[in-house]
């Protein structure tokens, strides 16, 4: 048995050490199989041990792993071109984490505001938002219980309620450079902005001449059934961030912007590992796979099936609402038993997440099968029964 003593405490983890994975399954030190509907927190787009990723990793590792961000490398150029083509945004900067991409988005918006909008620097953000765990992104977040953490906060964020256009309108002033939001708030429990609100918000930002920043770190790269959530919502951003599913499991994130807004000058932005060829080669293989029309159709089909099965289970067991889009789905439990359900699910060899006390979130691999969804629902039924 290994000891965890040398690891700094950051969260309570269950007493299980995972050794390997395959598709939607993880295996512990005893070879026990766990059905994984967390997938590295909506990260492993192609599931565990994907052949596509293994091949890209091995091929690139044999060529070159790191050349420094001071030089161009081929996978970085290839993935940037692919993302620009898919998103309609012209310029891409790669980072190692979502929080770092959002820091970059905040910096870019402030720089743009300084030179193009008379030093405007404030960013309108939303209640319940999650943008990461650096000081600025924690300050931009509206996560409950975070308002007093690690003070003093980074100033310059004005918070408004979700789906309230008038609140956004009154929050925008001469000092505002941008409005920043997740099209679906994943970490706070898959809380949706309506398409109507997102379209009106897009119009409002045009009207006031401020930037629209979409944090698609969780919703992007196929998760909601289109390549990016903004496509189905109809609100093209000026700046967008990607992370999580972009690398399919390797640390890779990105900041994208229209070319008119890409105003960084030499020295403004950078980082040792940014755009390194090993990670971008894997990201390129993942994005090439996920962006295939038949792959995205599969995500929509699996997402519909998952939501349908969860609705049936909810009716059967007297639980609450099912909501989400594609393979980012939440189930309301009706009472604050999420933590117990997650613990009991682990005993039933099922990995799920409870982002709120009375809510479960499902974020399986994007290539999850109907049989795996059926197995998950059967396990969940047993877990809820056992907990009663």
Ligand X SMILES: *Cc1c(COP(=O)(O)O)cnc(C)c1O
C-alpha 89, offset from chain centre: 18
Residue closest to ligand X, measured at CB:
98
Could you say which residues in the range 264-283 bind ligand X, by CB under 6 A?
A: none
Closest CA to 258 of 81, 97, 92: 92
**Position of tokens 């398409």?**
195
Options 65-73, 126-134, 154-162, 202-210: segment touching ligand X (CB under 6 A):
126-134
Closest separation in Å from C-beta 243 to ligand X: 5
Q: Per CB under 6 A, does 215 bind ligand X?
A: yes
CB of 130 to ligand X, least distance (A): 5
If you compute the radius of gyration of the chain from its CA atoms, what whole number of angstroms results? 21
Part of the chain binding ligand X (CB under 6 A), chosen from 91-99, 109-117, 151-159, 230-238: 91-99
131 lies in the site for ligand X, by CB under 6 A: yes
CB 78, min distance to ligand X, A: 22
**Contact partners, residue 294, CB within 8 Å, separation at least 6:** none
Write the DSSP string, 212-279.
EEEE-TTTTTTTTSSSSHHHHHT---SEEEE-GGGGBTBS-EEEEE-GGG----TTSS--TTTT-HHH
Pick from 21, 75, 113, 132 the residue near ligand X by CB under 6 A: 132
Asked if 325 is part of the footprint of ligand X (rule: CB under 6 A), the reply reads no
User: 226-265 mask for ligand X (x: CB under 6 A)?
Assistant: -----------------xx--------x------------
Give least dist CB 255 to ligand X, A.
12
Sequence-distant (≥ 6) Cβ neighbours of residue 351 within 8 angstroms: 26, 34, 35, 36, 37, 38, 345
- Contacts to ligand X from residues 174-193, by CB under 6 A: 182, 186-187
Backbone angles phi, psi at 295, to 5 degrees: -70, -45
Q: Give Cα separations from 78 to 280, 281, 308 (angstroms).
A: 8, 8, 38
Q: Could you list the residues that contact ligand X (CB under 6 A)?
A: 97-99, 102, 130-132, 182, 186-187, 215, 217-218, 243-244, 253
């Amino acid at each position: 048995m290994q000891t965890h003593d040398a690891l700094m405490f950051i969260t309570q983890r269950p007493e299980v050490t995972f050794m390997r994975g395959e598709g939607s399954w993880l295996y512990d030190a005893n070879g026990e199989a766990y059905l994984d509907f967390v997938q590295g927190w909506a990260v492993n787009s192609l599931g565990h041990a994907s052949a596509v990723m293994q091949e890209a990793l091995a091929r690139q590792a044999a060529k070159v792993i790191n050349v420094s961000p001071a030089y161009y490398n081929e996978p970085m150029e290839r993935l940037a071109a692919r993302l620009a083509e898919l998103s309609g945004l012209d310029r891409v900067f790669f980072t190692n984490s979502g929080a770092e991409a959002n820091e970059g988005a905040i910096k870019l918006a402030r720089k743009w505001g300084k030179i193009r909008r008379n030093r405007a620097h404030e960013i309108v953000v939303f209640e319940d938002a999650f943008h990461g765990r650096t000081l600025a992104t924690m300050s931009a977040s509206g996560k409950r219980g975070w308002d007093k953490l690690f003070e003093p906060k980074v100033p310059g964020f004005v918070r408004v309620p979700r789906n309230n256009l008038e609140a956004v309108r009154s929050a925008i002033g001469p000092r505002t450079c941008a409005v920043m939001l997740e099209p679906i708030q994943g970490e706070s429990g898959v809380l949706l902005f309506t398409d109507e609100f997102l379209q009106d918000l897009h119009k409002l930002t045009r009207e006031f001449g401020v930037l629209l920043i979409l944090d698609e770190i969780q919703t992007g790269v196929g998760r909601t059934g289109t390549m990016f959530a903004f496509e189905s919502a109809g609100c093209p951003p000026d700046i967008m961030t990607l992370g999580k599913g972009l690398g399919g499991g390797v640390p890779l994130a990105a900041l994208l912007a229209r070319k008119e807004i890409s105003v960084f000058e030499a020295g403004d932005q950078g980082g040792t590992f940014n755009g390194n060829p090993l990670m971008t080669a894997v990201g390129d293989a993942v994005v090439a796979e996920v962006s295939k029309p038949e792959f995205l159709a599969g995500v929509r089909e699996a997402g519909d099936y998952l939501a349908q099965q969860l609705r049936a289970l909810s009716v059967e067991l007297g639980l609450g609402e099912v909501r989400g889009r594609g393979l980012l789905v939440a189930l309301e439990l009706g009472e604050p038993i999420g933590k117990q359900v997650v613990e009991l699910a682990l005993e039933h060899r099922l990995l799920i997440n409870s982002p709120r006390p009375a809510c479960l979130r499902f974020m399986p691999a994007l290539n999850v099968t109907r049989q795996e969804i059926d197995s998950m629902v059967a396990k969940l039924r047993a877990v809820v029964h056992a907990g009663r």
